[in-house]
C-alpha cells in the first residue's frame, strides 16, 4: 500500500535538525537554537518560519532577556499529528493512541488467550483503532501511522513476526503483521522488538537528562533485552532480543524447557516459568504454605498466586521469589560488567507490583559488579509502567519525522 512518506513531511535535513532540537526539549529559545545548530540567523529564521507554517512547531511566548530583546520561545506542536502504538506480547496485547508529546488519548488491551490467533487479534486491533479515531474526532489524515513492539524473533524490515515461543494460541509463526495492519487501517506500519520499543519510550521520557547508555530488560515468560547508546537502539547482526535468557549461569544446571536451550540458562531460574515451576514443585512436596489455600491442583498454580502469597509474607513464596531474584541479579551483574550502562530499566510481569524481586535483584547485581562503587549505575522500574512497550512503538513511528 502506498502512503505519503512520514520522512518527507519535513522538507530538508536542516529543518529536521531544528525540529529534532525542539522536540527533545519542552521549550527552547531561538538563541539556544542558534548556539546548538551553528546556523546563521537568516537560515534559522527561515527554517523556523517553515516549521511554524506547517504546524509542526508553535511560538510559545518569550524567554528572559539577557540584554536586548526577549528571545522567542518555540515548542513542538503535540497535536500536529497522532500515532498508534501496539504491543504484542505473550500474555497481553495493548493498543494506545497518543499525540506527538506521547500524551495518551486512549488505551485498550486484550488477553492473549489460547483463542487469540493472529487473524482474530488483527481484526480486533483494526476495529478498536477505528473506534478510537471516531470517538476522539481524529481524522486518519493526521495519523502518522502505527508502530508495533512485538515478541521476537522478527524480520523488522519486512514486518514479519518469525517464530516466537510460548504463545498460547496457534498460528504465530511467520505472521506478516505489518502488511496485514496496513491493509486493514490504511496507515504506515513499522515493526520492532518490544524490548527495543520499551527502551525507546523510557529514553524519550529521559530525553532532558544526561543518560547516554541505557539498558532495558523485560522479565516475563522469557527474558528480553535492549540497549540504547547516544539515543540510538543498538542492533546486532540478527534479531536476538531473547538471547539474554540463554545466558549460562550454571554450566551443569537444570535443562531448559526447550531442547535447543542451554543447560543452566538464566531464564530457567528467573522468569514466570521458573517461579511457577518452583512453586508447583513445592506444593507437590507438601510444603507448608499459603499457596495450598489458593489452588487445589498444583498444576493450576500461576504467578499471580505466588505474588499474592508474597504480599502476605508467606515464607515459602518469599523464598521462591527471593531465589529467582537472586539468580536474575547474578545475570544482571554479568551484563553490567560487560556493557557498563549508566541506567538499567527493568520491566515486565516479574517487576510490576513486586518490590521484593526488584530490590533483591538490584542489590545482588550491585554486590557482584566489578569496580563498584567507582562505577555507579541507576536502577529503575521506568516511568511508563505496563504501557512502555506500546508507547515506545509510537515513539518509533514519530522518530520517522526526522529520519533522512
Q: What is the reported pTM?
A: 0.83
Distance between CA 130 and CA 105 in Å, rounded? 13
Q: Mean pLDDT throughout 272-279?
A: 96
**Cis before 224 (ω within 30):** no
pLDDT band at 160 (very low <50, low <70, confident <90, very high): very high
State percent of the chain over pLDDT 70: 96
The torsion angles phi and psi of 77, rounded to 5 degrees, stand at -85, 100
The architecture that CATH gives domain 209-382 is 2-Layer Sandwich (3.30)
Measured CA angle at 55 (ends 51, 58), to 5 deg: 75
Which of the listed CATH numbers 3.10.450.350, 3.10.20.30, 3.30.420.40, 3.40.50.1000 matches domain 82-202+388-402?
A: 3.30.420.40
pLDDT band at 25 (very low <50, low <70, confident <90, very high): confident
Q: Mean pLDDT throughout 160-183?
A: 94
Whether 67 has a pLDDT exceeding 70, the answer reads no
Whether 181 has a pLDDT exceeding 60, the answer reads yes
Q: Write down the pLDDT at residue 211.
A: 73
Q: Mean pLDDT throughout 94-122?
A: 96
Other residues' Cβ atoms within 10 Å of the Cβ of residue 8:
9
Q: What is the pLDDT of residues 245-270, one digit of tens each?
A: 999 999 889 999 888 889 999 999 99
Q: What is the pLDDT of residues 276-304, one digit of tens each?
A: 999 999 999 999 999 999 998 999 999 99
Q: What is the pLDDT of residues 75-95, one digit of tens each?
A: 999 999 999 999 999 889 999
pLDDT band at 204 (very low <50, low <70, confident <90, very high): confident
Q: Where are the domains of the chain?
A: 6-76, 82-202+388-402, 209-382
Whether 173 has a pLDDT exceeding 80, the answer reads yes
SS (H, E, C) the chain: CCCCCHHHCCCCHHHHHHHHHHHCCCCEEHHHHHHHHCCCHHHHHHHHHHHHHHCCEEEEEECCCCCCCCCEEEEECCCCCEEEEEEECCCEEEEEEEECCCCEEEEEEEECCCCCCHHHHHHHHHHHHHHHHHHCCCCHHHEEEEEEEECCCEECCCCEECCCCCCCCCCCCCECHHHHHHHHHCCCEEEEEHHHHHHHHHHHHCCCCCCCEEEEEEECCCEEEEEEECCEECCCCCCCHHHHHHCECCCCCCCCCCCCCCCCEHHHCCCHHHHHHHHHHHHHCCCCCCHHHHCCCHHHCCHHHHHHHHHCCCHHHHHHHHHHHHHHHHHHHHHHHHHCCCEEEEECCCCCCCHHHHHHHHHHHHHCCCCCCCCCCEEECCCCHHHHHHHHHHHHHHHHHHCC
**Measured between alpha carbons, how far is residue 74 from residues 23, 25, 31, 195, 205 in Å?**
9, 9, 11, 32, 19
Q: Write down the pLDDT at residue 269.
A: 96
Whether 2 has a pLDDT exceeding 60, the answer reads no
**Domain spanning 6-76 has what CATH number?**
1.10.10.10
Cα torsion at 168, 174, 177, 180 (round to 10°)?
A: -110
State percent of the chain over pLDDT 90: 68
Q: Write down the pLDDT at residue 65.
A: 67
Q: Write down the pLDDT at residue 237.
A: 66
Distance between CA 217 and CA 377 in Å, rounded? 15
**Contact predicate 61/69, CB 8 Å:** no
Give the three cell numbers for residue 305: 498466586
- Of 91, 68, 92, 98, the C-alpha closest to 302 is 91
Distance between CA 73 and CA 62 in Å, rounded? 5
**Contact predicate 196/392, CB 8 Å:** yes
Q: What is the pLDDT of residues 130-150, one digit of tens each?
A: 999 999 999 999 999 999 999
Judged on CB neighbours under 10 Å (0-12, 13-18, 19+), 295 is middle
**Contact predicate 362/62, CB 8 Å:** no
| Fold match between domain 6-76 and domain 82-202+388-402 | no
Distance between CA 8 and CA 13 in Å, rounded? 10
Tell whether the torsion through CA atoms of 366, 367, 369 and 372 is positive or negative.
positive
Distance between CA 327 and CA 45 in Å, rounded? 56
Report the range of poorest mean pLDDT among 97-111, 172-186, 242-256. 242-256
- Of 188, 137, 179, the C-alpha closest to 401 is 188
Distance between CA 283 and CA 345 in Å, rounded? 33
Q: Write down the pLDDT at residue 1.
A: 46
Q: Mean pLDDT throughout 17-31?
A: 88
- Sheet of strand 28-29, all strands in order from the earlier edge strand to the far edge: 28-29, 72-76, 57-62
Mean pLDDT of the chain: 91
Whether 210 has a pLDDT exceeding 50, the answer reads yes
**Contact predicate 207/172, CB 8 Å:** no
Whether 106 has a pLDDT exceeding 60, the answer reads yes
Amino acid at each position: 500500500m502506498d502512503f505519503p512518506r512520514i520522512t518527507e513531511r519535513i522538507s530538508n535535513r536542516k529543518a529536521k535538525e531544528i525540529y529534532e532540537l525542539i522536540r527533545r526539549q519542552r521549550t527552547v529559545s531561538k538563541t539556544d537554537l542558534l548556539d546548538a545548530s551553528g546556523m546563521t540567523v537568516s537560515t534559522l529564521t527561515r527554517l523556523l518560519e517553515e516549521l511554524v507554517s506547517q504546524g509542526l512547531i508553535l511560538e510559545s511566548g518569550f524567554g528572559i532577556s539577557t540584554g536586548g530583546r526577549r528571545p522567542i520561545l518555540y515548542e513542538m506542536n503535540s497535536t500536529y499529528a497522532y500515532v498508534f502504538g501496539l504491543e504484542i506480547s505473550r500474555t497481553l496485547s495493548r493498543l494506545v493512541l497518543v499525540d506527538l508529546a506521547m500524551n495518551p488519548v486512549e488505551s485498550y488491551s486484550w488477553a492473549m488467550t489460547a483463542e487469540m490467533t493472529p487473524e482474530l487479534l488483527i481484526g480486533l486491533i483494526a476495529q478498536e483503532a477505528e473506534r478510537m479515531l471516531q470517538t476522539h474526532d481524529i481524522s486518519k489524515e493526521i495519523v502518522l501511522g502505527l508502530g508495533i513492539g512485538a515478541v521476537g524473533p522478527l524480520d523488522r524490515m519486512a514486518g514479519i513476526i518469525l517464530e516466537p515461543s510460548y504463545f498460547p494460541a496457534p498460528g504465530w509463526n511467520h505472521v506478516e503483521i505489518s502488511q496485514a495492519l496496513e491493509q486493514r487501517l490504511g496507515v504506515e506500519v513499522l515493526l520492532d522488538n518490544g524490548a527495543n520499543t520499551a527502551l525507546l519510550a523510557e529514553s524519550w521520557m529521559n530525553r532532558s537528562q544526561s543518560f547516554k547508555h541505557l539498558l532495558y530488560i523485560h522479565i516475563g515468560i522469557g527474558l528480553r533485552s535492549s540497549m540504547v547508546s547516544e539515543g540510538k537502539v543498538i542492533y546486532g547482526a540478527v534479531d536476538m532480543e531473547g538471547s539474554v535468557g540463554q545466558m549460562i549461569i550454571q554450566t551443569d544446571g537444570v535443562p531448559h524447557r526447550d531442547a535447543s536451550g542451554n543447560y543452566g540458562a538464566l531464564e530457567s531460574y528467573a522468569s514466570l516459568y521458573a517461579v511457577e515451576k518452583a512453586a508447583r514443585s513445592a506444593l507437590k512436596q507438601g510444603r507448608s504454605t499459603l499457596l495450598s489455600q489458593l489452588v487445589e491442583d498444583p498444576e493450576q498454580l500461576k504467578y499471580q498466586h505466588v505474588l499474592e502469597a508474597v504480599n502476605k509474607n508467606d515464607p515459602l513464596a518469599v523464598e521462591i521469589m527471593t531465589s529467582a531474584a537472586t539468580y536474575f541479579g547474578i545475570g544482571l551483574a554479568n551484563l553490567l560488567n560487560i556493557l557498563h550502562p549508566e541506567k538499567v530499566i527493568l520491566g515486565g510481569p516479574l517487576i510490576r507490583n513486586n518490590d521484593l524481586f526488584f530490590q533483591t535483584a538490584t542489590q545482588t547485581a550491585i554486590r557482584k559488579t566489578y569496580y563498584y562503587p567507582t562505577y555507579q549505575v541507576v536502577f529503575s522500574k521506568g516511568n511508563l509502567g505496563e504501557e512502555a512497550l506500546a508507547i515506545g512503538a509510537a515513539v518509533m513511528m514519530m522518530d520517522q519525522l526526522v529520519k533522512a
